[in-house]
Amino acid sequence: MAEYATHDNGQKQVFPTGAQRNAGDGKGHYEDVSPIMMERLAKLLERGANIYGSLNYAKGMPMMRTMQSLLRHAYNYLEGKRDEDHLAAVVFNAMVLMHTEAMILRGRLPKELDNMPDYTPKPEKAEKPTMMEDSTDEIVRNVLSVSTSLWSKP
């Protein structure tokens, strides 16, 4: 039989009855997840499992393909289409992106599945400081030098 540990972060919550529990900080607010959303997502997962098999998404697929589906469903809902549960599909696709990203980081799925574009600015090369920056640096050095010499004299 496996050996299990009980984790204790040292922070206890004491109840009026005297009962104690480990504090829940940092563990997530699962109780805040909407049961209405969860039911709609579960039903969408069931319909998908009937077509593709259970946990098909966990096998991994390119993230950009998943993003395309998420955006298509979001725009279909925005347009007023109610022929499918487009909002549940948006949530599903967001879940798949989060799952895929986590599994790539854990080394369980190939990093090539993360084919999302990167539009963030590239780090700039360090350029030679301008004359103004040179002057400012020199002033700061002089002030520090004078301050140090004032404090060090008896």
Q: Where are the beta strands (DSSP E) in the chain?
A: 12-14, 20-22
State CA 75 to chain mean position distance.
23
**Can you tell me the distance from the alpha carbon of 134 to that of 41, in angstroms, rounded to the nearest whole number?**
59
CA dihedral 76, 80, 85, 87 (to 10 degrees): 70
Domain for residue 123, yes or no? no
Quick one: average pLDDT of 61-88? 98
Count the neighbouring beta carbons within 10 Å of the beta carbon of residue 108.
Answer: 12
- Domains held by the chain: number: 1
Q: How confident is the model at residue 16 (pLDDT cuts 50, 70, 90)?
A: very high
Using CB atoms within 10 Å of the CB of residue 143, give its burial: 0 to 12 exposed, 13 to 18 middle, 19+ buried. Answer: exposed
In a domain, 132, yes or no: no
1 in a domain, yes or no? no
Q: What is the mean pLDDT of residues 43-72?
A: 98
Averaged confidence pLDDT in the chain: 89
Domain residues for the domain of 60 are: 32-113
67 in any annotated domain: yes
Compare 48 and 137 and report the one with higher pLDDT.
Answer: 48
pTM score over 0.75: no
* pLDDT tens digits, one per residue of 78-122: 999 999 999 999 999 999 999 999 999 999 999 999 999 999 999
